Amino acid sequence: MTNDNQLINRLRSRSFKGIIFDFDGTLLDIKDAMEKSIEEIFTENRIEADMNLTIQEIGALLETLQGYPLPKIILQSYDMFKYITAFKDITFLKKVMISTKIFSKFLERSKEAPLFPGTKLLLETLNKKLKYDLFIVSHSKKEKIVEHLIQNGIDKYFKGIYGTDELPSLKPSPEALKPVLIQYPSRKKGDFLMIGDMPTDIEAGSEARCETIALASGISNKEILTNSKPDLLIDSLEELSELIGINSISSSKNQQSAKIKS
């Protein structure tokens, strides 16, 4: 693991070739959409559960399901659903029905999900001021990602956007990052930074020889993320902005611009 200060200093000094972001739970705040979807379907089916635990478990499942075609979901559903504590006393067919309804509700609600606070300023600073190549590698479909990016005016900051329909493998396989890394044949270990909210993001980044930052603002809590051994574990993108001095960078650039104009 990298020393926290060392990683932040590298970010400030522009010593990475590029930064790879996950999307759902990292740039896009999907937690409310997921929580409401689970609560609605659980209420309909009179299921009582520890909601925090359930969000962790179903959130991890939805992260995987987004990247699977329907036949594969059906074939592997028994193994997938057995890890959801709230489903332990429910028949298999009902598990499938409930999970399908939650997934459907989540997909609808996530269309209106907001970016996390400070996301746009962070991306603008990393791309326009610090001159980083920025990428997205996500288990969501590219079309959905691009819609959100355009809607929020941040699509211009990314050099490449790779959804599940374009990935050779799903995270945690390091092959998921291949569409990005293959563009830099002269790269060496630590030239790229992976930022995500799930253990799968961190494991994929580590296996691909990237530095990693885990965000506890998404579905996974700090305890779960710690087990994936990120190089840095923080609460949010806003905290990352503070650590690398986004406000001071922006103020400095604005002052320089004012001097040039005068």
Residues 22 and 48 grouped into a single domain: no
- State the Cα–Cα distance between residues 79 and 83, nearest whole angstrom: 8
- State the Cα–Cα distance between residues 105 and 37, nearest whole angstrom: 5
Per-residue pLDDT of 103-115, as tens digits, reads 889 889 999 999 9
Of 49, 75, 110, which marks where a domain is finished? 110
Residues 233 and 141 grouped into a single domain: yes
pLDDT of residue 90: 85
| Helices 92-110 and 70-81, packing angle to 10 deg | 120
Domain with 245, as residue range(s), is: 4-29+114-261
| 3-state secondary structure string across 36-69 | HHHHHHHHHCCCCCCHHHHHHHHHHHHHHHCCCC
Of 78, 110, 142, which marks where a domain is finished? 110
Cα maximum dimension of the chain: 73
CATH of the domain at 253: 3.40.50.1000
SS3 assignment, position 21: strand
With 80 as the cut, is the pLDDT of residue 126 above it? yes
Q: Are 217 and 241 in contact (CB under 8 A)?
A: no
Residues 76 and 133 grouped into a single domain: no
Residues 38 and 25 grouped into a single domain: no
In the predicted model, what is the mean pLDDT of residues 199-207?
96
Please tell me the total count of domains within the chain.
2
Residues 254 and 156 grouped into a single domain: yes
Counting every residue, how long is the chain? 262
- State the Cα–Cα distance between residues 212 and 163, nearest whole angstrom: 20
Phi and psi angles of residue 234, each rounded to the nearest 5 degrees, phi first: -135, 170
pLDDT of residue 65: 62
Contacts of 74 (CB under 8 A, 6+ apart): 96
Residues 83 and 132 grouped into a single domain: no
For the ranges 103-112, 116-125, 205-214, 224-233, the lowest mean pLDDT is seen at: 103-112
Residues 142 and 222 grouped into a single domain: yes
pLDDT of residue 75: 54
Phi and psi angles of residue 12, each rounded to the nearest 5 degrees, phi first: -65, -35
Of 45, 76, 110, which marks where a domain is finished? 110
With 90 as the cut, is the pLDDT of residue 159 above it? yes
Per-residue pLDDT of 72-98, as tens digits, reads 555 555 566 767 888 888 888 888 888
